[in-house]
């Protein structure tokens, strides 16, 4: 049975959406990923574009509220916040019995500069999130099958 993982951040528009997509893609045999935000907005178009560049389409994803996920009664083995350190105090806490992790990534919504500079920053965050997911999956999956980490 797959373990459920919830990625949460402020708006559920970029970082948590990318993390959800990567976990389902990379380690979907072990996990079922979801994402939510404290103050959900709309998908960040630069995150959608950055993901599309590597063959992952998140353009049809919907943002959702952490409160709505909590009200649904779903239980999660892991809740991973992906807020950056400067907004960590606003990053939502999901109640219940779960393993809580915090992975700090800058918010692409806060990037300034030209469209291309903001897209380049979003690509960098995308790649950092993918690397973190790959590393986490390698460690978790190694434990699951009894191999040394």
* Residue 9 bears catalytic tag: yes
Is residue 10 within 8 Å of 90, Cβ to Cβ?
yes
Angle between helices 45-53 and 15-26 (to 10 degrees): 30
Active site residue 91: yes
What gap in Å lies between CA 29 and CA 15, rounded to an integer?
Answer: 22
Residue of 9, 27, 137, 141 with catalytic role: 9
CB 10 within 8 A of CB 35: no
Known catalytic residue: 27?
no
Catalytic annotation, pick one of 27, 91, 137, 141: 91
What single-letter DSSP state applies at residue 44?
Answer: -
Cite the active site residues. Answer: 9, 83, 91
């Amino acid at each position: 049975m797959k373990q459920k993982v919830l990625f949460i951040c402020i708006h559920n528009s970029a970082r948590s959406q990318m993390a959800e997509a990567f976990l389902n893609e990379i380690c979907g045999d072990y996990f079922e990923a979801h994402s939510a935000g404290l103050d959900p907005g709309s998908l960040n178009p630069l995150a959608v574009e950055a993901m599309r560049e590597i063959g992952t389409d998140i353009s049809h994803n919907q943002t959702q509220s952490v409160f709505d996920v909590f009200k649904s009664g779903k239980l999660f083995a892991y809740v991973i916040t992906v807020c950056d350190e400067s907004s960590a105090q606003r990053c939502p806490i999901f109640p219940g019995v779960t393993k809580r992790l915090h992975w700090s990534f800058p918010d692409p919504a806060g990037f300034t500069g030209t469209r291309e500079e903001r897209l380049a920053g979003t690509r960098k965050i995308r790649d950092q999130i993918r690397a973190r997911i790959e590393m986490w999956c390698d460690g978790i999956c190694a434990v699951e099958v009894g191999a040394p980490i």
